[in-house]
Amino acid sequence: MRNSGWLAAAVFVSSVVTAQAPVAERLHSPGNPILADGRYYSTDPAPVVIDDTLWILAGRDEAPKDVNDFIMNEWQLLATKDPKSGDWAHYPAIARPEAVFAWAAPGRAYAGQIVRGPGGKLYLYAPVLEKDTDAKDGFAIGVAVADSPIGPWRDAHPSGPIISQRVPVANAIQNIDPTVMIDDDGRVYIYWGTFGQLRGMELERDMITPKGREVPVEGLTGFFEAPWIMKRNGTYYMLYAGNHAGPRSDCTPAVYHACIAYGTAPSPMGPWTYRGVVLKPVSSTTSHSGAVEFKGHWYLAYHTADAVGGGHFRRSVALDEMHFDDSVSPATILPVMPTRRPQPALAPSRNLARSASAAASNEPIPLQYWIKSLNDGITKVAPLPPDMWGSWSPRNPAQQWIEYRWDKPVTLDGARIWFWADQPAGSAIGVAPPARWHLEYWSGGWKPVSSPDGFGTAVGRFQPASFAPVTTRCLRAVFDASGAGGEHAGIAVEEWEALGPRAQPVLVRPIDAAPVSACN
């Protein structure tokens, strides 16, 4: 009986589509991500409510595991009448750039949004690559129109995009990530941009024709990309992916990652005031959200790398409730607590690193790296800098260390370490395997482990090390950098395991837990 509500949905769909219409696969999702088995990745969610159904437009990541690129050929849809039921319809392929826009190239079906316009017509604002353009950056925003979210979508402006580096006026930004709002008075506004550049413009009520000037949007601290415009109780809210990074940032410690931040304004064109963070960084480097009110509840749709085989370029849509604090004016958005479907218990392991807090000799650590990667249990074929701890800087010292600290003493007799490098062994530049490394433990002072064995330095696989058992609260891996004289390479570690004598239940230290005090 779980899916009985879908009978009504199927009737709704069959009454508005043609014989070639995309077919829905019905599924029950016990939690985030909604599509989790790795058959379809789904990204850049844009929710829209149409009658009694919550639809989520999403792109589709198709990058192989070792490819760090946005391979996105088409858009897809998820739909539910009740997000809490976990019952969804999935339309895997509803439109492709080159099929909708004659002027568009295939691929790069980036973050679009469907908006319900006058007369109930649906408008798809879609960033795609222009086929024939002399623009330096070929991304452009097209508009398609349809009567149903599943299409068929047809170009509403067949002469070309409504926004590019050439139209309506020349600009030099990457024209992606559109978000559109129809205000209560019927006026229409579009915002778009990435790489720290956000533009806003009024459109005519036809939803297509640029009306006002392209205006840079200011005041949204750390804006990176993925704007989402909405209005609630007379206040305009702009959600966006922000990447102002640093050890004390309210947004993200690592610059490749983003938080979802937001600002408010008293009018569609500002002035905007930064208000804070809605969602902490997720497991994918990009973060992209859309928010909507549905049947009396607000929801935030976003994406993560949490599906089976997921990654930074294999992202999956998640949905959680979003709440406001109406005791202040304008109402603030309370931080969204990401939820996940039930996860299988971790198998018992000798690795005690998951319960440690990590520190390093090079703090503040360069913003491209993220020290939490050391003990997150993840190694990747093609990691990005925040998937590792690293020490590269324009001038690298001869020695660096990383350290695990536990709340209580642990007994250890081994370790495994996974190095990353972009330069060969012996190099004095870039990131290279260390010349050698050793382990020290705290016992009233730092002492080298006894009877050391192993300690290889090859990259891209675990290098085992064993030693006579020690009981300690702090363990250090000390690296002698490769190079000579005053010239040394940096060092990078994807994962470092600290092994006890026997397997035991794995305790994972929450990422936002306070750091454990140093051993001195």
Closer CB to ligand FUB, residue 9 or residue 241? 241
Name the minimum Å distance from CB 286 to ligand FUB: 4
Q: What share of residues in the chain are helix, strand, coil (percent, to 5)?
A: 5, 40, 50
Name the minimum Å distance from CB 281 to ligand FUB: 13
Closer CB to ligand FUB, residue 175 or residue 362? 175
Q: Residue 377: name the closest of 256, 516, 496, 491 by CA.
A: 496
Q: Which residues neighbour 121 within 8 Å (Cβ) at sequence distance 6 or greater?
A: 145, 146, 147, 207
Closer CB to ligand FUB, residue 303 or residue 473? 303
Closer CB to ligand FUB, residue 43 or residue 351? 43
Closer CB to ligand FUB, residue 81 or residue 312? 312
Helix (H) or strand (E) holding 213: none
Closer CB to ligand FUB, residue 176 or residue 417? 176
Name the minimum Å distance from CB 132 to ligand FUB: 22
Name the minimum Å distance from CB 319 to ligand FUB: 16
Report the first-to-last Cα separation within the chain, whole angstroms: 62
Name the minimum Å distance from CB 345 to ligand FUB: 32
Name the minimum Å distance from CB 313 to ligand FUB: 9
CB 449 within 8 Å of CB 468: yes
With tokens 């007994």, the residue in question is: 411
Residue type at 514 in one-letter notation? A
Residue type at 510 in one-letter notation? P
State how far the Cα of 35 lies from the Cα of 315, in Å rounded to an integer: 10
Closer CB to ligand FUB, residue 70 or residue 91? 70
Name the minimum Å distance from CB 121 to ligand FUB: 25
Q: Which residues bind ligand FUB (CB under 6 A)?
A: 43-44, 59, 70, 110-111, 176-177, 225-226, 286, 288
CB 316 within 8 Å of CB 36: yes
Q: Is 372 helix (H, G, I), strand (E, B) or coil?
A: helix
Name the minimum Å distance from CB 355 to ligand FUB: 33
State how far the Cα of 316 lies from the Cα of 340, in Å rounded to an integer: 12
State how far the Cα of 377 lies from the Cα of 488, in Å rounded to an integer: 29
Q: Which residues neighbour 406 within 8 Å (Cβ) at sequence distance 6 or greater?
A: 352, 355, 356, 473, 474, 516
Closer CB to ligand FUB, residue 152 or residue 227? 227
Q: Which residues neighbour 439 within 8 Å (Cβ) at sequence distance 6 or greater?
A: 415, 448, 449, 452, 465, 467, 475, 476, 477, 478
Closer CB to ligand FUB, residue 288 or residue 473? 288
Name the minimum Å distance from CB 287 to ligand FUB: 7
CB 251 within 8 Å of CB 244: yes
CB 310 within 8 Å of CB 271: no
State how far the Cα of 320 lies from the Cα of 339, in Å rounded to an integer: 7
